[in-house]
Amino acid sequence: MENIDKKDHSVLRQAAMDFLARREHSLHELKTKLIGKFPEVSPTLVLAVLSRLTAEGLQSDERYTESRIRYRLERGFGYHHIRNDLISKGVDPFRVDQMLYADDDCWLQKARELIEKRLIPTTGARRRVLAYAGPEHRKLARFLEARGFSQRDIKFALDVVIAP
């Protein structure tokens, strides 16, 4: 543990800047990390340093939210998973709802991409067609649900691979 003087903001500021240099962080995440790293420092001092970083534009919950949405979407997660992830990281639900839309067509497209990736082997074989409510169909539905996709998106995405 580093010994820190309560009047010395520079150590806290540098630690926060180090965290931000690696990736964007929500205000809540930074506060938690700094308090964990410097338990002897008062939380009000940590908040003062973070307020200054926010005022200077070095920390932004908006940038963090955009970055996190993009990252989780690229990793194949759905609306509900991403929304809950952001809220658990301390982002205001109102801000999340301004940037993330449940009825956006990108969720359906992403669910279809995940299904295609699971069903088409990399060897170039033909795509398989599944029986409705068969074991593979249910397994895919559970997979998409665990990834945070809505029932509507799961149904429409699976309709593409269901045998008539």
Residue 85's domain spans which residues?
A: 62-99
Chain segment 70-114, per-residue pLDDT in tens: 999 999 999 999 999 999 999 999 999 999 998 888 999 999 999
Query: Same domain for 84 and 113?
Result: no
Question: What DSSP line would sit under 83-141, residue for residue?
Answer: HHHHHHTT--HHHHHHH--TT-HHHHHHHHHHHHHHHS-TT-PPPP-BPTTSHHHHHHH
Buried-exposed string 107-127: b where 16+ CB fall within 10 A, e elsewhere: bbebbbebbeeeeeeeeeeee
| Residues 107, 38 contacting (CB under 8 angstroms) | no
Chain segment 13-29, per-residue pLDDT in tens: 999 999 999 999 999 99
Query: Same domain for 111 and 135?
Result: yes
Q: Could you give phi then psi for residue 130, rounded to 5 degrees? A: -100, 150
pTM, full prediction: 0.83
**Given this model, what pLDDT does residue 5 score?**
56
Residue showing tokens 């009000």? 44
Query: Same domain for 155 and 109?
Result: yes
Residues 6+ apart with CB under 8 A from 64: 24, 25, 26, 29, 89, 91
CATH number of the domain bearing residue 155: 1.10.10
Query: Same domain for 26 and 49?
Result: yes
Query: Same domain for 109 and 148?
Result: yes
119 within some domain: yes
Query: Same domain for 130 and 144?
Result: yes
2 within some domain: no
Domain count within the chain = 3
Q: How confident is the model at residue 1 (pLDDT cuts 50, 70, 90)?
A: very low
Query: Same domain for 77 and 55?
Result: no
Query: Same domain for 54 and 70?
Result: no
| Residues 42, 86 contacting (CB under 8 angstroms) | no
Buried-exposed string 25-49: b where 16+ CB fall within 10 A, e elsewhere: bbbbbbbebbeebbeebeeebbeeb
Number of other CB atoms surrounding residue 65 within 10 Å: 22
30 within some domain: yes
164 within some domain: no
Query: Same domain for 132 and 87?
Result: no
Mean pLDDT for all residues in the chain: 88
Query: Same domain for 79 and 92?
Result: yes
1 within some domain: no
Structural tokens at position 81: 């998973």
Chain segment 108-159, per-residue pLDDT in tens: 999 999 998 887 765 555 556 677 778 888 999 999 999 999 999 999 999 8
150 within some domain: yes
Of 145, 146, 137, nearest to 118 (Cα)? 137
CATH number of the domain bearing residue 55: 1.10.10.10
Alpha carbon 102 to chain centroid, angstroms: 15
Chain segment 21-63, per-residue pLDDT in tens: 999 999 999 999 999 999 988 899 999 999 999 999 999 999 9
